[in-house]
């Protein structure tokens, strides 16, 4: 290779590295736009500190929900935590209910001897409670807002020093709960007030990402045309080195830029929908024939990166030759995205999520005359009390900081299409969610 060719190759390799860095930078920006930052849960941290100080095996914060009139497990640390979060109790149920009503701290040296003890909760989650301290949580005005329960001291019974510490920490937790509620109310008011500005700002921020990605695509296409032309003027060694230096980027950039552009567009559209929803202007579905498999593959493309980062395998088993189905493409995309994303979040490293599709025409609706898609995972499974509220306005989440919003979105979309969704789940084994959509739909007058 001549000195001139070596210099040209070095310059081209540097250019390829720069373009590769640009692509990855845009990828990170797009990922940041689509992510939700989870802040430290101070109430949960205070509960953990309480348990550590008294050497307890488990603990719960149980708060009163004025809308439902129920006591709800909002924060749980210890065995069976996932199964307890979101579980509801009647205010007159168990020791928690008794302390909530009386406002008096209670020490239970042996819960089996107490008439107020409700063993059903422990039996349901297969966790035995031996001893316990239940601390009332009160507002500044002295009104009961819930209780803190600390269970199963590792060695012996809870002593007076333990109770004094828990009483002090309980007051601090109650203050944190009230502060959190006030903060949430203020934040909601602020979101409602400025959501239109946020939508506009997001559009302004995403537009340069889209423009940059599209510009980068044109630059890379032009660069590779020049590289191909240059490679024809050199010897075989030159061509091999040039091919080796550029093949990874050549293969990688088209799909990545497609993900960036599609993801940016979806961020813009979704933000506008949130804005419209807050303003009370929810748009009506726009139905048109859609290739369900193509829609599923559009979802898989960006989420494959999420799955890979979590060590989760994302597979597809899509039936060939499916007829077009009349749906609102944008709404169904959001529903499928939430189904697959939730499945990935329910998995640990080494687990698998499989998306499948098909049609049934041999029976009448709802057993047949439908297109269906299923999302199966080998993750943690869904507790019965959570599954009972899935896809409703009362949906809850077992994830720290989760809201259950994703499942409500899914439920609303399925109902808007006159469809159905079935859930099969087993704790520790995984979950299968199947959406069925009629192949024909009745037009409303």
Domain ranges of the chain: 3-36+196-278, 42-190, 288-438
Beta strands in 218-263 (DSSP E): none
350: DSSP letter? T
| Of residues 197, 144, 165, 150, the one with CA closest to residue 48 | 150
Question: Which residues touch 124 (CB under 8 Å, ≥6 apart)?
Answer: 83
- Encode the chain (445 residues) as per-residue pLDDT tens digits: 667 777 777 777 766 665 554 454 344 434 433 333 333 356 777 788 788 878 899 999 999 988 778 899 988 888 878 888 888 888 988 999 999 999 999 999 988 888 888 888 877 778 888 899 999 998 877 889 999 999 999 888 888 878 887 887 788 778 777 777 766 666 656 655 566 556 656 766 777 777 778 888 888 888 888 887 777 676 777 777 777 777 878 888 888 888 887 777 777 776 766 655 544 444 567 899 999 999 999 888 888 878 888 899 999 999 998 999 999 988 898 889 889 988 998 899 999 999 999 999 888 888 889 999 999 999 988 888 787 777 765 655 555 444 455 677 788 888 889 899 999 999 989 999 999 999 887 654 3
311: DSSP letter? T
CA-CA distance, 17 to 246, in Å (whole number)? Answer: 9
CA-CA distance, 23 to 257, in Å (whole number)? Answer: 8
For 290, list phi and psi in degrees, rounded to 5. Answer: -135, 140
404: DSSP letter? S
Residue 405 has a pLDDT of 56
| Of residues 325, 321, 322, the one with CA closest to residue 287 | 325
**Do residues 180 and 188 touch, judged by C-beta distance below 8 A?**
no
Kind plus residue range of the DSSP H or E element containing 324: none
State the architecture of 42-190 in CATH terms.
2-Layer Sandwich (3.30)
User: Cβ of 403: how many Cβ atoms within 10 Å?
Assistant: 12
Q: At how many degrees (to 10) do helices 236-278 and 3-34 cross?
A: 20
Q: How many secondary structure helices (H) and strands (E) does the chain include? A: 11, 13
**Do residues 358 and 371 touch, judged by C-beta distance below 8 A?**
yes
CA-CA distance, 337 to 307, in Å (whole number)? Answer: 13
CA-CA distance, 387 to 87, in Å (whole number)? Answer: 11
Residue 421 has a pLDDT of 92
Residue 1 has a pLDDT of 61
434: DSSP letter? E
Global confidence as pTM: 0.45
What does the block give as tokens for 436? 């069925």
CA-CA distance, 157 to 131, in Å (whole number)? Answer: 7
Residue 197 has a pLDDT of 58
**Do residues 307 and 344 touch, judged by C-beta distance below 8 A?**
yes
CA-CA distance, 437 to 432, in Å (whole number)? Answer: 17
CA-CA distance, 307 to 296, in Å (whole number)? Answer: 15
What does the block give as tokens for 321? 């030759």
Place of tokens 């559209």: 269
Residue 395 has a pLDDT of 57
What does the block give as tokens for 97? 């209910």
Beta strands in 50-131 (DSSP E): 56-65, 70-77, 88-89, 106-108
For 426, list phi and psi in degrees, rounded to 5. Answer: -140, 130
Question: Which residues touch 370 (CB under 8 Å, ≥6 apart)?
Answer: 359, 360, 419, 436, 437, 438, 439
Question: Which residues touch 337 (CB under 8 Å, ≥6 apart)?
Answer: 299, 303
State the architecture of 288-438 in CATH terms.
2-Layer Sandwich (3.30)
**Do residues 116 and 107 touch, judged by C-beta distance below 8 A?**
no
């Amino acid at each position: 290779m001549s000195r001139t060719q070596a210099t040209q190759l070095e310059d081209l390799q540097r250019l390829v590295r720069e373009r590769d860095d640009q692509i990855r930078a845009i990828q990170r920006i797009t990922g940041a736009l689509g992510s939700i930052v989870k802040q430290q849960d101070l109430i949960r941290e205070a509960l953990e500190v309480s348990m550590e100080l008294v050497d307890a095996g488990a603990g719960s914060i149980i708060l009163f929900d004025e809308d439902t009139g129920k006591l709800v497990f909002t924060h749980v640390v210890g065995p069976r935590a996932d199964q307890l979060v979101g579980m509801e109790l009647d205010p007159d149920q168990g020791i928690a209910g008794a302390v909530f009503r009386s406002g008096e701290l209670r020490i239970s040296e042996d819960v089996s001897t107490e008439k107020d003890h409700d063993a059903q909760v422990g039996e349901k989650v297969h966790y035995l409670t031996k001893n316990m301290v239940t601390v009332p949580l009160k507002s500044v005005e002295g009104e009961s807002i819930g209780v803190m329960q600390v269970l199963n001291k590792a060695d012996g019974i809870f002593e007076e020093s333990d109770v004094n510490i828990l009483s002090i920490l309980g007051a601090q937790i109650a203050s944190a709960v009230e502060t959190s509620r006030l903060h949430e109310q203020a934040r909601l008011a602020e979101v409602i007030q400025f959501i239109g500005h946020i939508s506009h700002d997001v559009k302004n921020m995403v537009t340069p990402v889209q423009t940059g990605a599209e510009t980068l695509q044109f630059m890379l296409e032009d660069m590779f045309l020049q590289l191909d032309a240059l490679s024809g003027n050199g010897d075989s060694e030159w061509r091999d080195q040039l091919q080796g230096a550029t093949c990874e980027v050549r293969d990688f950039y088209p799909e990545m830029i497609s993900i960036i552009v599609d993801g940016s567009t979806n961020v813009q559209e979704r933000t506008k929908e949130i804005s419209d929803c807050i303003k009370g202007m929810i748009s009506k579905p726009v139905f048109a024939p859609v290739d369900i498999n193509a829609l599923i593959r559009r979802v898989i493309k960006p989420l494959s990166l999420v799955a890979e980062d979590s060590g989760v395998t994302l597979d597809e088993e899509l039936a060939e030759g499916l007829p077009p189905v009349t749906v609102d493409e944008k709404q169904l995309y959001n529903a499928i995205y939430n189904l697959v994303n939730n499945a990935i979040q329910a998995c640990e490293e080494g687990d698998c999520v499989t998306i499948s599709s098909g049609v049934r025409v041999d029976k009448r609706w709802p057993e047949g005359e439908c297109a269906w898609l299923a999302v199966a995972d080998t993750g943690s499974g869904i507790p019965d009390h959570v599954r009972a509220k899935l896809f409703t306005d009362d949906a809850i989440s077992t994830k720290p900081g989760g809201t259950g919003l994703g499942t409500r979105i899914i439920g609303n979309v399925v109902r808007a299409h006159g469809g159905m969704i079935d859930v099969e789940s087993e704790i520790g084994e995984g979950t299968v969610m199947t959406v069925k959509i009629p192949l024909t739909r009745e037009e409303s007058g």
